[in-house]
Structure 1
Amino acid sequence: MFQEDLRKQVKGSISEKSFYSYFKNTTEKLPRVDVLNMLSEYCGYKNWVHFKSSIPQNKILEKKKLKPKWLVFLLLGVLFITSAYFLIPRNHTFTFCFIDQDRNKPIINTPIDIIVLNNKQSPFYTKSDSLGCFRWSTKDDFIRFVIKSPYHKTDTIFRSTAKITNENIQVSTDDYALMLHYYANGRLEDWKNRKNELSKMIADNAIIFQVLPSGLGIEVYSKNEFITKLTTPTKSLKNIEIIESKRIKGQIVKLKFRVKS
């Protein structure tokens, strides 16, 4: 683990044979300068010279000259303390809030189902809270989880501590499931509201086209035609996949999609 951490911190390594043989050797000869520089950098110093210059000479010297090997032992002591700090497992806390991609608002009316899938652990099932957020603490330096919602598309999220651990995640609406719900339950007002939302989202002069299968070309849609397609629970709506979209001032001005077979 020390070698792995050394490679991670300073992008270098020391052979175990060289490392341990030095302690058994009674010679006053120092290791190579590049090795000393590497160990010094790992301990938080610029190099070997910087490490030596940081030692309070009036407290540790009884003679005018400090023996070179004594300095190395001191460096190795600092090295072990530093490596222990990095190698002790620490908890990492990830916080995610889920945002409806269309409405640009937190998803709070229907909790998001979350399945955490970190290694060496059984799947852990939980839900987003009343603010549409989810927090997870772990000794792992990453998190992988699946999000599910009745009216949003399922997605798998992977994040590591190398990235931001507090994040807003955009979640796409599952228009087919939503329209099916409105049609099946006679939610006429909700259906009209959804059409109005889409009308505000899409610019009047938006360029919208479907990429046809087998290289047959494209089919161009007007804004109203596309909104009708998105608000009718057909099989093609269920299989729509957005390939590319472009927004200006929050409105969609270009959209390319396909219908998966």
Structure 2
Amino acid sequence: MTDIEVFYELKKSVLEHYKKRYPYFDGNWKSFSSQDILNLIDDVQENTKNSVSEKWIYTHLKPETNEKLPRKDMLDIFSQYVGKETWNEYKFVFLNQTKKVQKKNKAPSKTKYWILGFAIIVLFLFLFWRTKQSENKTKTIELNEKYSNDSISSQTTKAFVVEDSVLTEIAIENSKIEVKENAKVIVKGPFYEERIVDLQKTPEIKKVVLEPNDYANILHGFIKSDIKDWQTRKEQLDKILDENVEVIVMLQNNLGAEYFNKEEFSQKVIIPTPSLKQLQIVEIKKNTENKIIFIRLVKR
């Protein structure tokens, strides 16, 4: 802090001291009248036994800003007026008080930052705990067939949890799955349209309704039924199978697989046989025209 800045504080002290002597004055240096100046001169004379001029007061005390510091002897007089022996003592006491205040303010500021930092850490830990709690909490989701409301077979329908693009299969028991509350789930199988459920976006979901894959169910009926009307079968197969359909039959005992095109597969399905009924559909893909373009079967 410069001497000029300390002088501004001395001017404030002089004005405060004057107000104690003349309580009816309730103004500032700008409103300090000629009578107030005469009163101040008399008061300084009485308290310090020193004289000051009106011109000095007009020049140094009345202005809001001061370009240079007054003479030290005058500073000593007004320092005595406010209770100090000299200007040096006034400056020393004021600067020490200022340092104490700054130190005190700095200490609460440090405390405030420590408290703020501690609060942020506590909040972070709370949010982390809440996230972990949410991740560990589970919910049960029921799987239903849209039209028949039949139970969902875990042999043909699979459920997967998706984490970082990795699919992990989860059990289907009594047409229900149990997953974490914020999980992303895929339910799929050859006889139903694939369903994707993101519980983080739709946490209220408690039931997943599966839409039947009609063509897959028709084909399943052909394989398992004893219908002998081969002409009807042929016409219906022609409608649901794409011209370029590929059929893979996985053989037992790691004997490989058999490949069929549309004509070969249709011929196999048209006439029911015991070996046909042993086939189990495990995968079906459709093209943009909703016709079956790929079939994978296993022989049971």
What is the TM-score of this pair, normalised by structure 2?
0.35
Kindly indicate which of the two structures has a greater share of residues assigned to helix: 2
What is the TM-score of this pair, normalised by structure 1?
0.39
Higher relative contact order (CA 8 A, sep 6+): 1
Kindly indicate which of the two structures has a greater share of residues assigned to strand: 1
Which structure has the larger Rg? 2
